[in-house]
Amino acid sequence: MANTELMGKLDAAIAEKSLLKHPFYQDWQAGKLSKEALQLYAAQYYRHVEAFPGHLRVLAARTEGALQGLIRENLAEEESPEGSHPKLWRDFAAAVGVGEDDITCCPSMPGTQAVVQKFREICGGPASGGGGGGAVCV
């Protein structure tokens, strides 16, 4: 299979799984979500946003060459001094009425815990045996 054909298939597979196709995101884009739904999302999704730079650090340590460069570039964006992704997410949460304590102290729901754990496994974090970390950067 030629590289261009493989890239086309990968792009199609990624597009099929786009978050923007999920009903939650479609309702969000259409302005149909309640304030409460956005508040819950902001508080819960923060757990993933907060953990993601650590996943990237682990993944970067396990890779080399061009892939490592891409991962380090992604990590630099996540931790940008102008506004780290966790800081930007806390700002978003505050804008929808979620307090700092609600973000940092509220327990994670099972689905939220599963997302963070799955990324840890994919990136090869502790006790994961991970693999396939390139999926994180797509």
In angstroms, the CA 91 to CA 132 distance is 32
**Residue 26 dihedral angles phi and psi, to the nearest 5°:** -65, -45
Domains by residue range for the chain, with CATH: 1-33 (no CATH), 35-137 (1.20.910.10)
Model confidence, pTM: 0.78
In tens digits, what is the pLDDT along the chain, a chain of 138 residues? Answer: 678 888 888 888 888 888 889 999 999 999 999 999 999 999 999 999 999 999 999 999 999 999 999 999 999 999 998 889 999 999 999 999 999 998 988 899 999 999 999 999 998 854 444 444 444 544
Burial 90-101 (b: 16+ CB within 10 A, else e): bebbeebebeee
CB atoms within 10 A of CB 51: 18
Predicted pLDDT at 138: 43
Contact 96, 42 (CB under 8 A): yes
Predicted pLDDT at 127: 43
Predicted pLDDT at 125: 55
In angstroms, the CA 54 to CA 58 distance is 6
